[in-house]
Each structure stands twice: as structure tokens, then as C-alpha cells.
Homo-oligomer: A and B are copies of this chain.
Amino acid sequence: MSLFQGIRYFLLADNNKNKTLQLILGFYPKNQLLYEQAFRHKSVANEQVDESIESNERLEFLGDAILGAIIAEYVFIKFPYKDEGFLTKLRSKMVSRSFLNQLAVDIGLDTFIETSPNVNRSNSINGDAFEALIGAIYLDKGYDASKKFVVEKIIKDFIDIKKLIKEESNYKSKLIEWAQSEKLEHQFDTTLIDQTKIKYFKCELKLNNTLITIGEGSSKKKAEQAAAKKFFAQKSHD
């Protein structure tokens, strides 16, 4: 698959790539450089001598947040009578790593991504590039154009909201269903761990000899951090 993708990418002339991208976007990109950056995996950027050639990581950071806002608004408007628990759950399914990875492949983004040849083109590279693309669109065309792209070109054509709502978030059930569909036998072998092999620590945080919080963790350090963190969390809720 990854070799095939690489060949597809290199066979496309620049001119054709731009046309294909325009078709995916539904508009003419103003600042071409932003889109090139969105598709540039860090493995390629690191090879460049020119330090101004950036990878898509910063754009991915921006796009992730913009996409989160667009999807939040979409579910907010679409489901006026649903509470925030429902909205949060649906949104988190729509922006989950595995969902975005698949979406990126569905819209054909994988053919645009540049990686160095020795990189294993894992799925998450696709989802990352999708988020970076949203970042590029935002910087190129603004919030409303990004929203239009996500709603009209992505959600309308590629996302089955009804199916997503029904989708199981109980992983055990999900696995059982999946294994059955793939005709694989599955087994959950669950045992009590041999207790002499576990190390688990408890940290009592005291201020002026008064017990304030208790933290637990699999190392002394983790237990201490947990106790201190709990204290600050309680303080901020006072």
C-alpha cells in the first residue's frame, strides 16, 4: 500500500496534483505554499538544508483546534435538543485519531503526503495531514471557508452521522463484534496479577501535619505528583 501510494504520488505531474487538490477543496488555493507544508511529513522537512522548509506539525496543531471548533458548532446546531454529554461524545468520535486517519484516506489525501522513502506510512500520518490541511485552509481562507469545507465537502459526503451515533464505545463489545465479522476466535483471559510482583505506592501529602490529599501510583514519584496535583485541583474548585 505505501509503495503504491508513493508511486501514485510521483506519477502525478504538479499540474495534475493542483487540479486534484482543487477538486478535493472545492476552491482555488491562494497561498499554495501552505498546502505544500500541510502535506510535508517531518521526515521530509528534516532532510532539507533550508531551515525555512517546515514540516506540517505546527499546522496540525492549529488545524486540530480549528476542526474541533467547527465540529463542536456543527453538532451544537444539528442537535438543538441534545445535552452537552451527547454533543461531547459525538464530537469526540468525529475527531478521534482513527476516524480522521480513515477520513483522510477516503478523500484521497494520502496521495498528496510527502514522506522520506524509509518512513513507514502509518495511518496516523494521514490523519495528521488532514488536520494540517484544515490549518492551511484556515490561514489561507479564514474560519468561514474552513467551516464550509468541513461541512460541505467532508461531513456531507464522507461522514455517516447516524452510524457514528450508534457506534459502540464499549471496546470489549466492539472487539467481539469485529472479531465475529472477521471470523476470528477471540478470548479474554483475565487473571488476578500475582500480588507479590506489583509495586504500588501511596503518598500522603500533609501541610502543617494535617493530611490534605492522598495520591497513588506505580512509583514513588507518580504517587507524589498525584497527591500534589489533587491538592491544586481541589484548591481551584474551592
Contacts and interface: CB of A to CB of B under 8 A. Distances in A.
A4 interface: no
Interface in A63-90: 64-66, 68-69, 71-73, 76, 83-84, 87-88
B97 A84 contact: no
Given A98-B233, A188-B205, A189-B206, 9 more contacts: A68-B69, A143-B143, A170-B225, A171-B228, A175-B228, A188-B227, A191-B201, A191-B202, A195-B198
B198 A122 contact: no
Contacts of A232: 98, 171, 174-175
Interface stretch (A10-18, A19-27, A158-166, A178-186): A178-186
Interface in A195-209: 195-196, 198-209
A192 interface: yes
The range of chain A's interface size is 35 or more
Q: Which of A64, A69, A188, A231 has the most CB of B within 10 A?
A: A69
A101 B201 contact: no
Contact of A209 (B71, B72, B187): B187
Nearest to A75: B61
A222 to B, nearest CB: 10
6 contacts: A66-B69, A66-B72, A143-B143, A184-B208, A191-B203, A198-B198
